[in-house]
Amino acid sequence: MTKTEDVKQERQVLSFESDRGASRSIWVAAGILVAIVAWMGSGFILPSEDGASPDAAAEDPAPVAVAIRKSQAEAVTLFFQAEGQAQPDRDTAIRAEASGDVAEVLVEKGSDVSQGDIIARLASDRVEADLNRALEEQSRAQREFDNASELLERGVGTQDRLSQAQATLASAKAAVTAAQEALDSTNVVAPFDGRIETLSLDAGEYISAGSDIGRIVDNRPLTVTLQVPQQALRRIQNGQKADVSFITGEEREGRVTFVGTSASAETRTFLAEIEVDNEDGAIPAGISAEIRIPTGERQAHFISPSVVSLAPDGVTGVKTVEDGVVVFHEIEVVRAEVDGIWVTGLPEEARIITIGQGFVRNGETVEARPELTAEADAEQAAETQQ
């Protein structure tokens, strides 16, 4: 046997093709693979009886916890508030009633005067002469009338002569009256009690009849004017009391004396006037004022602006908890203060959500917990320290 034949024989001896267990490992691996695939698919084809859908197996989420505060409606006084301006009760220009040279000026700008006080005098020589002449003419006409009357009584006079004398007397009396008025017009007098605000008059100056020589103002009382919007017009009436705070710091009580019935074409507001006592004259005219007019009472809740919510449709309201469910109430602000607002639209007794209102919706079930106040926080902190 050659060497080549020995090698072939050896190769035949090492071959396992005819061995019964030569393919056993392949079948074992295939069986394991089928078993794994069958096990993985068994959950879809033959679900276990204890198994459940993910939605069914998951527990319902716990209700959202919110903090609430109990609120009781109270009677609150409503006010109409507006800005106004103090105006003098009377403000009039002082005019000269006659023409002539200024003889003397008796008051100064800023002086307080009473009605009828003489502010200045004009030169009166001419008008005094006219008055004297008119008086002499009146005396002569009176004598003529008396003589005509006596002659008529004696039967030697006529009725025509008496009538003529009577007409002459009447004309003379009218001339005296005119001359007296002209003399009085040489005195520039105050038309009412007030204060001389302006006075452009000097001695020796010539002025014409009807020219403005100054201005007099009466601010006792003051008249505060304001504009009332058309929505609030029915709430303001004559005789209502008003609290007026002036920009200078004074506060006075006034009374509504006038409410307009014709709106301004530009602003659609109505003019209203409030009379304020100012006997001491301490409040000057022309300054700004804040006006508050009580207009009635309403039942309202006092809340913080932070609890106000906005509905999806843009409505402003407050969320409360009723029987464990969130309820949205539309509100109306009836009065605003520094630390909160008074609103209507809530039940008489309300459990207002103060914390968490932004995370819950109308109709949602929640877990309501009382809001911790500052006192409760202090007690809780003390217990923790102990």
Q: What's the pTM value of the predicted model, to 2 decimals?
A: 0.60
Domain 81-87+217-297: top CATH class: mainly beta
Q: Strands (DSSP E) along 153-193, which ranges? A: 187-189
Q: Do domains 66-74+298-381 and 81-87+217-297 have the same CATH topology?
A: no
Are 341 and 318 a contacting pair, CB within 8 Å?
no
- pLDDT of the chain, 386 residues: tens digit per residue: 444 455 445 454 444 455 555 556 666 666 676 667 666 665 544 455 554 455 544 566 788 889 999 999 999 999 999 999 999 989 999 999 899 999 999 999 989 999 999 999 999 888 999 999 999 999 999 999 888 888 888 887 788 888 898 899 999 999 999 999 989 999 999 999 999 999 998 998 999 998 999 999 999 899 999 999 998 999 999 999 999 999 999 999 999 999 999 999 899 999 999 999 998 888 999 999 999 999 989 999 999 999 999 888 889 999 999 999 999 999 999 888 889 999 999 999 999 999 988 889 999 999 989 987 544 444 444 444 44
Tokens 């504009």 -> residue: 227
Domain extents in the chain:
3-45, 66-74+298-381, 81-87+217-297, 98-213
What burial letters (b/e) apply to 63-87, b meaning 16+ CB within 10 Å? eeebebbebebeebeebbebebebb
C-alpha span between 139 and 66 (Å, rounded): 105
Are 64 and 366 a contacting pair, CB within 8 Å?
yes
What's the CATH code, domain 66-74+298-381? 2.40.420.20
What are the tokens at 58?
Answer: 């998951």
